[in-house]
Amino acid sequence: MADVNATSADRIDLIVGEARTLESLRQAVVPPFVLIVPFLELPPFVRQLGQDGLAEDGVHGCVYAIEAEAPGAGPLRVGFRDLRTGTVVKEKTLRVEAVRR
């Protein structure tokens, strides 16, 4: 289970140097959402450590591992793009705040 679920969250609070997991949005694999891929756009003070698929069939989505490298505040964008055209088909913006412990 991820630390934060993008579907239900509006913000993410991070501590610099501490890894957290973020579950992307979810989308059932049904037309017209058959050929879509998840994307994550991070503020400059946050980096992506990894990405794993969801442990269930019939649903697009993934779990990202992220970490703040410095204190800051800004937007994080998560969603899906059409694989063929690159067009965003679903997205959500979350506010990220990172502080030093």
Q: Report the Cα 28 to chain-centroid distance in Å.
A: 17
Domain with 50, as residue range(s), is 4-99
Mean pLDDT of 25-37: 94
- DSSP class of 69: S
CATH number at residue 74: 2.60.40.2020
Please tell me the total count of domains within the chain: 1
pLDDT over 90 (residue 47):
yes
Mean pLDDT of 46-58: 95
pLDDT value for 1: 82
Query: pLDDT by residue (tens digit) across 76-93?
Result: 999 999 999 999 999 999
16: tokens are: 């610099």
CA angle, 85 as apex, 33 and 37 as ends, to 5°? 45
pLDDT over 90 (residue 55):
no
Q: pLDDT band for position 31 (50/70/90)? A: very high
